[in-house]
Amino acid sequence: MAVPVSQAFTVATYVLKQKLSGRKRYPLVLMLEPLFRCNLACAGCGKIQYPPHILKAQLTPEQCFKAVEECGTPMVSIPGGEPLLHPQMPEIVAGLVARKKYVYMCTNALLLKEKLHLFKPSKYLSFSVHLDGEKEHHDMAVCREGGWDIAMEGINAAVAAGFRVTTNTTLFDGADPNSVRRHFDQLMAAGVESMMVSPGYTYEKAPDQQHFLGKAKSRRLFRAILSNRKKNWEFNTHPLFSEFLMGKQSFECTPWGMPTYSIFGWQKPCYLLQDGYADTFEEMLESTKWEEYGARSGNPRCANCMVHSGHEASAVDYNFSSLKGFWETAKKYMFKPQYEDEGAMKILNEWKSDSHGPLVQISDGATPVVVSTTITETSNANMAGD
Ligand code: SF4
């Protein structure tokens, strides 16, 4: 089962209430970013390029709870930065669990094993481990040799201790679909509950600007990866979002579906773009010029975007907007289609993998580092220990 029945029921009830009340724009998952600092400096990340005083700042537990109550979503995702670097993260998570929120705490898992004892297993808590592929590919993507081994140790420890563990994988140009499929096999064998996969977004601030996927390439890659899927693979993304990635569905983005709250306030318009901030969730909803965003708007920053934070809520909304959408989705949950596709099999068989550039270790934080072969300086990538 991709998510527990109680979670599916809570989310379905919540969305139905929003639809019945005629609310046009409603949030589904709060993206709560309590801090931006990280103990990695991934080449495709757009979050860690802030100056040191911003990287040192963090939301208090009270600020987190206020944002969660203001927004009212049944699910809260905690990305970052690396949430486990926040000294009060156990208190934040416990407070959200006490409020019966389904929490996905996103982590690179470098600190997961040593901090596991600070958390309690709960149906409301899932560690969502960021793993970008098989060992060599992941270490390359996160610019850290040995990162995969440590993350897998964290996963094994969390699974053994009875926690819900899921994974999130971000793919960039050059990803090898055969390798991604082997990666899925490894994760399921390790006992993870379910997996999430999404294309990366072209962050303007990311060090590596050469390896983001355009839409046509994304669809081809995801068709190869997600067609002819194995029976034991479990995904926690909506089935229609997965079809959107494969080019079988078309959705406009609904960025209000996964609003972002950070030390700057409520971010406009989405998790990826920063076109200003609002003090309250309602103010953000009211003051954002939504017509200026999404593929149809012609905004060039949205042209290649297919990320889950913009489009998965669209799939969920479609699911609950008509009987047809409801029935279409119900069938996919009941019968779990494997998407047999000879064309996709041919792509897999003929795929030639690109060779990686040299792997570059991130610094200890004292000196600027060069990540990937695209030269970029990151002055404060590692501020662990605050
Ligand atoms: S298309 Fe992507 S970048 Fe543009 S508003 Fe939607 S989620 Fe944000």
Residue 343 within any structural domain of the chain: yes
Q: Is the CB of 305 under 6 A from ligand 1?
A: yes
Q: Give residue 141's pLDDT.
A: 83
Q: Is the CB of 270 under 6 A from ligand 1?
A: yes
CA of 197 to the centre of ligand 1 (A): 17
Residue 386 within any structural domain of the chain: no
Q: Give residue 369's pLDDT.
A: 34
Residue 222 within any structural domain of the chain: yes
Residue 257 within any structural domain of the chain: yes
Q: Count the Cβ atoms, other than its own, within 10 Å of residue 178.
A: 15
Q: Is the CB of 272 under 6 A from ligand 1?
A: yes
Q: Strand 102-107 vs strand 125-130: parallel, antiparallel, or unpaired?
A: parallel
Q: Is the CB of 313 under 6 A from ligand 1?
A: no
Q: Is the CB of 127 under 6 A from ligand 1?
A: no
Residue range of the domain that includes 321: 5-378
Residue 383 within any structural domain of the chain: no
User: Which atom of ligand 1 is nearest to 299's Cα?
Assistant: 4
Q: Is the CB of 301 under 6 A from ligand 1?
A: yes
Upstream peptide bond of 269 is cis (omega within 30 degrees of 0): yes
Q: Give residue 1's pLDDT.
A: 60
Separation between Cα atoms, residue 95 and residue 85, nearest integer Å: 18
Residue tagged 């949430």 (tokens):
83
Structure tokens at 126: 């899932």
pLDDT tens for 109-127 read: 999 999 999 999 999 999 9
Q: Give residue 49's pLDDT.
A: 76
CA of 231 to the centre of ligand 1 (A): 32
Taking the CA atoms of the chain, what radius of gyration do you get in angstroms? 20
pLDDT tens for 43-83 read: 766 666 788 899 999 999 999 999 999 999 999 999 978 99
Q: Is the CB of 253 under 6 A from ligand 1?
A: yes
Residue 89 within any structural domain of the chain: yes
Q: Is the CB of 38 under 6 A from ligand 1?
A: no
Q: How far apart are the first and last CA of the chain?
A: 38
Q: Give residue 357's pLDDT.
A: 52
CA of 345 to the centre of ligand 1 (A): 31
Sheet with 102-107: list strands edge to edge. Answer: 194-199, 164-171, 125-130, 102-107, 75-78, 29-32, 260-262, 265-269, 274-278
Given ligand 1 and candidates 205, 245, 253, which is best to mutate, with the most ligand atoms within 8 Å of its CB? 253
User: Which DSSP state fits 5?
Assistant: H
CATH number for 241: 3.20.20.70
Separation between Cα atoms, residue 151 and residue 174, nearest integer Å: 22
Q: Give residue 293's pLDDT.
A: 96
Total count of domains within the chain: 1
Question: What is the pTM (predicted TM-score) of this model?
Answer: 0.88
Q: Give residue 372's pLDDT.
A: 36
Residue tagged 């600007």 (tokens):
209
Q: Strand 164-171 vs strand 125-130: parallel, antiparallel, or unpaired?
A: parallel
Q: Give residue 102's pLDDT.
A: 98
Residue 108 within any structural domain of the chain: yes
61-71 vs 89-98: helix axis angle to the nearest 10?
30
Element (H, E) at 172: none
Residues of the chain short of pLDDT 70, as ranges, are 1, 44-48, 202-213, 353-386
Q: Is the CB of 251 under 6 A from ligand 1?
A: no
Residue 65 within any structural domain of the chain: yes
